[in-house]
Amino acid sequence: MNILDLRQVEKVYGEKENQVRALRGVSLQVGEGEFIAIVGTSGSGKSTLLNLIGGLDSPTGGSISVKGREISSLSRKELTIFRRRNIGFVFQNYSLMPVLNVYDNVALPVTFDRGKHLNRRYIEELLRELGIWDKRKKYPHELSGGQQQRVAIARALVNKPALLLCDEPTGNLDSATTVEVMGLLKASCRKYSQTILMVTHNEAIAQTCDRIIHIEDGQIVSGRRRFHGEGGEGIC
Ligand SMILES: Nc1ncnc2c1ncn2[C@@H]1O[C@H](COP(=O)(O)OP(=O)(O)OP(=O)(O)O)[C@@H](O)[C@H]1O
Ligand SMILES: [Mg+2]
């Protein structure tokens, strides 16, 4: 089953002469468990695409369904709950709460969700796997960039989301930490059959994903599966 189905998605920001057509007729199907890289030049529409898929913003045309639910048909409240239970976000700037320690930052999405109880064993497992269990009482400003990003990943994974949306998650990290973070994302993807969409400027990283979606000027210009294309074409 496709976990994600986008049909002719359009996004126009602003009005009249200030209009920007950020996405133009984007159609995309993603199967469960796929790890997808999204590449494209600055301003091509990558973040816009992730924001729409995550229901953080709404399209001006077309349809987006996640796990078979058309997200524009959900009320604000339904969307908030749907997002919390099914979608995890990892951003480049970590977006951790400075006043909460590592443990509480990771537990935050569960704390918000009144219908769910805090699975302390799972949080411990996650923090141990990500190598930040011994940092659980530290505050974000006491951590390195790589450690903060691991906290952000743990927080994104805490509800075991079916879909993980990452916007340049390794953009601020050195190359050793980048390799480490990629390994953690891949392991999580396999272990929980998660689907990951990851924006990256790093060609080498993109090449390690199952599929590369290339966006230019608000349109998908190529997005074939790796290894299935005609030989030697570089980006698929
Ligand atoms: N909130 C907004 N209001 C108006 N225009 C916007 C808004 N967000 C994005 N845009 C415009 O939409 C286009 C796509 O932006 P987007 O942020 O999706 O690009 P991107 O591919 O993520 O770029 P980058 O690699 O620099 O992060 C750009 O022209 C941008 O200026
Ligand atoms: Mg962006």
Q: DSSP secondary structure string, 95-132?
A: ---TTS-HHHHHHHHHHH-TTS---HHHHHHHHHHTT-
Q: How far is the C-alpha of 104 from the C-alpha of 155, rounded, in Å?
A: 9
Report which protein residue has its CA nearest ligand 1's atom 5.
13
Model pLDDT, residue 94: 73
- The answer to whether residue 154 sits within a structural domain is yes
Ligand nearest to C-alpha 48: 1
Which of 27-31, 63-67, 112-116, 219-223 is least confident?
112-116
- The answer to whether residue 68 sits within a structural domain is yes
Report CA(223)–ligand 1 centroid distance (Å): 20
Model pLDDT, residue 223: 66
Model pLDDT, residue 4: 96
Q: Is the CB of 46 under 6 A from ligand 1?
A: yes
Please give the average per-residue pLDDT across 63-90, as a whole number: 92
Query: Dihedral of CA 47/51/52/57: which sign?
Result: negative
Model pLDDT, residue 203: 87
pTM: 0.88
- The answer to whether residue 90 sits within a structural domain is yes
β-pair partners for 89: 165
Mutate to test the pocket of ligand 1, among 10, 23, 24, 48 (most ligand atoms within 8 A of CB): 48
pLDDT of 234 > 60? The answer is no
Ligand nearest to C-alpha 44: 1
- The answer to whether residue 233 sits within a structural domain is no
Total structural domains within the chain: 1
Cα separations in angstroms, 136 against 37, 148, 155: 30, 11, 12
- The answer to whether residue 190 sits within a structural domain is yes
pLDDT of 35 > 60? The answer is yes
Q: How far is the C-alpha of 99 from the C-alpha of 116, rounded, in Å?
A: 23
What is the token pair recorded at 231? 């030989």
- The answer to whether residue 130 sits within a structural domain is yes
Q: How far is the C-alpha of 121 from the C-alpha of 170, rounded, in Å?
A: 27
**Range ranked top by mean pLDDT from 104-108, 114-118, 167-171, 179-183:** 104-108
CATH of the domain at 183: 3.40.50.300
Q: Is the CB of 47 under 6 A from ligand 1?
A: yes
Please give the average per-residue pLDDT across 183-202, as a whole number: 89
Cα 211 to its chain centre, rounded Å, is 15
Using a CB cutoff of 5 Å, list residues around ligand 2, an ion.
Answer: 47
- The answer to whether residue 227 sits within a structural domain is no
Query: Dihedral of CA 176/181/184/186: which sign?
Result: negative
Q: How far is the C-alpha of 204 from the C-alpha of 129, rounded, in Å?
A: 24
Enclosing domain of residue 29 = 2-222
Report which protein residue has its CA nearest ligand 1's atom 6.
13
Report CA(42)–ligand 2 centroid distance (Å): 7
For the chain, how far is it from start to end, CA to CA, in angstroms? 23
- The answer to whether residue 201 sits within a structural domain is yes
